[in-house]
Amino acid sequence: MSAPIRVVLVDDQHLVRAGFRMVLDFQEDITVVGEAGDGAEALRLLRDTAADLVVMDLRMPVLDGVAATRQICAAGPSPRVLVLTTFDTDEEAFAALQAGASGFLLKSVPPEELLSAIRVVASGEAVVAPRVTRRLLDRFADRLVPGRPGTSDLTELTDREQEVLLLVAQGMSNAEIGGRLHVAEATVKTHVGRILAKLGLRDRVQAVVYAYESGLVQPSGNT
């Protein structure tokens, strides 16, 4: 049996954290290794606590969830961040994704959906539908920074990898990309893995953000 997913809960409401912990503690493959009431406390906790995933609230005192997510994701590949918030707004979803979050869910989701999201994000995938990501990036395209410092060059990718990245950014699944390119889904998965590795990206959500920032994809309405 593999080691359980180590989770840190970050929310300024103690009762909310207690409720989440109750759900997670019943799972054999998930363990809560720490809690924090704001982003600054979470950063201090993570210095001394090994975690695979942070379940992050957005609106908190001292340091909000977006700022905390940005610092966590800038520090290394782990832990990954799953944002869980009360506020269903494109503005906050965009800010969280741009900061590096690998998922965005509302606190109103059923427990089984939260558990599924934790397992998916911990496995290296993302839980925000690519088409939703693209909608957000189209809407907030003026806030992206094309060619920002540190952004890898598209020339590091082969022509086929650039083609796959473009289709990922268009919101297509591996199966859909395989159908379009007439290759096996496993082949597409391999291409996606190489794209993420070459560009230093965490997951498909970050690949879509990169596709916009690199200029590979133009926001809707732009020529």
Nearest to 173 by CA among 204, 209, 198, 214: 204
Q: Compute the distance between CA of residue 174 and CA of residue 88 in angstroms, rounded to an integer.
A: 28
If one compares 190 and 207, the residue with the highest pLDDT of the two is 190
Q: How high is the pLDDT of residue 150?
A: 45
Q: What is the pLDDT of residues 32-67, one digit of tens each?
A: 999 999 999 999 999 999 999 999 998 899 999 999
Q: Compute the distance between CA of residue 86 and CA of residue 187 in angstroms, rounded to an integer.
A: 38
Architecture of domain 140-214: Orthogonal Bundle (1.10)
Q: How high is the pLDDT of residue 223?
A: 37
State the average pLDDT over residues 141-168: 74
Q: Compute the distance between CA of residue 35 and CA of residue 57 in angstroms, rounded to an integer.
A: 12
53-56 vs 80-85, strand pairing mode: parallel
Matching residue, tokens 């905390």: 68
Cis peptide before 79 (omega within 30 of 0): yes
The pTM (predicted TM-score) of the whole model is 0.73
Q: Is the pLDDT of residue 221 over 70?
A: no
Q: What is the pLDDT of residues 83-130, one digit of tens each?
A: 988 766 667 777 888 888 888 888 888 899 899 999 988 888 777 655
Domain boundaries, the chain: 5-128, 140-214
Q: Does 3.40.50.2300 match the CATH number of domain 5-128?
A: yes
Q: Which long-range contacts (CB under 8 A, 24 or more apart) does 74-77 make?
A: 74/100, 77/202
- Cβ atoms of residues 146 and 214 within 8 Å: yes
Element (H, E) at 9: strand 5-10
Tokens of 123: 């496995």
Q: How high is the pLDDT of residue 92?
A: 75
